[in-house]
Amino acid sequence: MRNNQRPATQVARQKTLKTEISCVGTGLHSGSKTRMTLRPAEAGTGIVFRRTDIAGSGAIPANWANVVDTRLCSRLANAEGASVATVEHLMSALAGLQVDNCVIEIDGPEVPAMDGSASPFVFLLDCAGIEEQAAPRRAIEVLEPVSVGGDGKKVVLEPATGFRLSCMIDFPSAAIARQSIDFALDAAAFREEVSRARTFGFAREVEQLRAAGLARGGSLDNAVVVDGDRVLNREGLRFPDEFVRHKLLDAIGDFYLAGAPMLCHVRAERGGHELNNAALRALFARPSSWRMTDLAEDMTAITASGRRAAG
């Protein structure tokens, strides 16, 4: 090869854990204490949940088509009726650290809340270790815009060579108000800029949520709580714009339910779990709007010729 020739783009490889690791915690909405174990999985397995407390319940693939509830979280269920809720923070950590294959065993109905962010799951993944597998990493490349929403809320998926998200939120409370963020996903940036952002809620809604079977495990230890225009947590915020960063964290986890990394620009205005899932359903309902492609090591698309796509 001549010195002025560029080397061929390296195809990314799938990743899994080096060893299993467990944690115990309380569900944010159910209030149930659960034990969860993350296990290595063979290439091509994807992210799969298993309810160890329900005999014969079968696997619950972490896939958009298995999302059955989007009230304040994303809940998955399989044909046997086994379900697991609040998967988005763990899914966000798996996406951020580029883990493709993992079996998650859990003995209760909900992923532990931990501190309300993805940071404890990043710590678990780091402790377990992450290793490459022989199989190439494939991605879902968005080919044409897809838009869902209404009444001032929308999520748009646009073609892009990597995975980028632009999120905007707007709340009447002065503690939150209007916040926006633009973020291109990579492991280092996810660790530093996103993973520590906590979920949040409003003190005035607590009793109503608990009556609906939600937020039963919520506390100042696993959520930022806003009362009027004040943040009640004594330690304050981890970021000045922690609220929109957590919405970004949620979106990263929700879109990893596509079943593979995505190559697109997500534009979310006052979005949430419901619209995130609706965007995936709209995308996959139109076969012309997406295709599978090989993924480069820098998380950009590789064309059929083996070159990185321009853009």
Quick: pLDDT tens for 271-301. Answer: 999 999 999 999 999 999 999 999 998 888 7
Pairing assessment for the beta strands 47-51 and 102-106 based on DSSP bridges: parallel
Given a contact cutoff of 8 angstroms between Cβ atoms, the answer to whether 266 and 275 are in contact is no
Mean pLDDT of 3-12: 61
Whether residue 8 is predicted with pLDDT greater than 60 in this model: the reply is no
Quickly list DSSP for 252-300: HHHHGGGSS-EEEEEEEES--HHHHHHHHHHHHT-GGGEEEEEBBTTS-
Mean pLDDT of 205-213: 77
* Residue 171: HSE in the Cβ half-sphere, 13 Å Cα cutoff: 18
Domains of the chain: 13-136 (3.30.230.20), 138-294 (3.30.1700.10)
Prediction pTM value: 0.93
pLDDT band for 307, please (50, 70, 90 cuts). very low
238 to each of 33, 117, 192, 210, 243, how far by Cα in Å?
26, 11, 11, 26, 10
Give the Cα separation of 58 and 42 in Å (integer). 18
25 to each of 33, 51, 59, 249, 259, how far by Cα in Å?
5, 15, 22, 20, 26
Mean pLDDT of 4-22: 81
Mapping DSSP onto H, E and C, the string for 123-150 reads: HHHHHHCEEEEEEECEEEEECCCEEEEE
Whether residue 198 is predicted with pLDDT greater than 90 in this model: the reply is yes
Average pLDDT, rounded, for the chain: 92
273 is catalytic: yes
Give the Cα separation of 267 and 66 in Å (integer). 23
Neighbour tally for 224: CB within 10 Å:
24
Mapping DSSP onto H, E and C, the string for 69-99 reads: ECCCCCEEECCCCCEEECCHHHHHHHHHCCC
Lateral strand order in the sheet of 224-227: 200-202, 224-227, 230-231
Tokens (6 digits) for 98: 């580029």
Alpha-helix residue ranges (DSSP H) falling in 2-115: 88-96
Beta bridge partners of residue 149, listed in sequence order: 154
Whether residue 303 is predicted with pLDDT greater than 90 in this model: the reply is no
Q: Helix or strand or coil: residue 311?
A: coil
Name residues whose C-beta falls within 8 Å of residue 156's C-beta, 6 or more positions apart in sequence. Answer: 145, 146, 147, 148, 266, 267, 268, 279
